[in-house]
Structure 1
Amino acid sequence: MHYLTFVGRVARLTGTAEDRAATLTRATLETLAERLTGGEVLDLAAQLPKPLWGLLSPHPRTEAAERFGAAEFVARVARRADCDENTARTAVGAVFATLREAISSGEFQDVVVQLPRDYRDMVEPALAPAATRRR
């Protein structure tokens, strides 16, 4: 999937302009990179458009993921994107749905398995049959 397609999909799902969707995408992917192990971050980045690679940089000194729940994930996205938490939650769901379309199903499962159960409300819509990939 191309970068503009990725951001355009997030824009449609969030009902925002593409420049705002790019900010929400950046905030979500940067936060996701903190929550995943370094190796998984690299695997995910390899399947995304090049403009998104830099957002998914593992911390150079650690392979370990930070441990924080879904509420903290949303709060971090909200701070990064300078928005309220409802907007951030919608954006996170949109980015996960777009990731589901943009990357292989195996890679998507590798990402999801690293997230605790309290992320389910944000991730499950991306797993629904209606969110099938269009590669």
Structure 2
Amino acid sequence: MQFHEFLGQVQNRAKLDSPDAAMLATRATLNTLAERLSGNEPANLAAQLPGEIGNHLKTGTAGKGERFNVDDFIARVSKREGVPENQATHHAQVVMGVLNEAVSTGEMADVQGQLPEDYALLFRREWA
């Protein structure tokens, strides 16, 4: 999936008013995901994405495997994106859905394998 296609899908599904808003939602979600994943998983995931998207998985704390639950994940996305938590939840679900389509099934299985069960909330298709 190409950069503009990824952002276009996020913008369309989340009903955002601009590509900049889609980028903000994507960056907030992927920065937070990078903090939660451990080892090389953020880099492995980034390798399957367009550079402009994958770079958001290469934060200073990427791969540290910081332990926090899905509520804390949403709170971090909300703060980074500057939106209420209900919107952050929806945006994170959309980003994760597009991510799921952009990378291999095996890579997404690796990502989900590192997340506790409560993170299933992020993989619901709320935009459909």
User: Which digits, 9 at most, give the CA deviation of each residue in 1:28-59, with x for residues without a partner?
Assistant: 00000000013001100000001123211154
> 1:1-135 residue pairs with structure 2 within 5 A?
1-17=1-17, 18-57=19-58, 59=60, 63-125=63-125
Q: Report the identity percentage.
A: 41
User: Which digits, 9 at most, give the CA deviation of each residue in 1:107-133, with x for residues without a partner?
Assistant: 01100111111111221439xxxx9xx
CA distance, structure 1, for counterparts of residue 85 and residue 64 of structure 2: 26
Contact conserved, 2:42 with 2:63, CA < 8 A, in 1?
Answer: no
Amino acid across the alignment from 2:113: V
Amino acid across the alignment from 2:83: C
Q: Flag structure 2 segments of 5+ consecutive residues without an equivalent.
A: none
User: Which digits, 9 at most, give the CA deviation of each residue in 1:2-32, with x for residues without a partner?
Assistant: 1111111011111102211110000000000
Contact conserved, 1:37 with 1:58, CA < 8 A, in 2?
Answer: no
* TM-score (structure 1 length as normaliser): 0.86
User: Which digits, 9 at most, give the CA deviation of each residue in 1:79-127, with x for residues without a partner?
Assistant: 000000011000110011001110000001100111111111221439x
Q: Where does structure 1 differ by over 3 angstroms across 4 or more consecutive aligned residues?
A: none
Contact conserved, 1:93 with 1:122, CA < 8 A, in 2?
Answer: yes
Contact conserved, 1:36 with 1:111, CA < 8 A, in 2?
Answer: yes
Q: 1:63 to 1:81 in 2, by over 3 A?
A: closer
What RMSD over aligned residues (CA atoms) do the two structures have, in Å?
1.9
CA distance, structure 1, for counterparts of residue 106 and residue 16 of structure 2: 29
How far 1:64 sits from its partner (Å)? Answer: 3.3
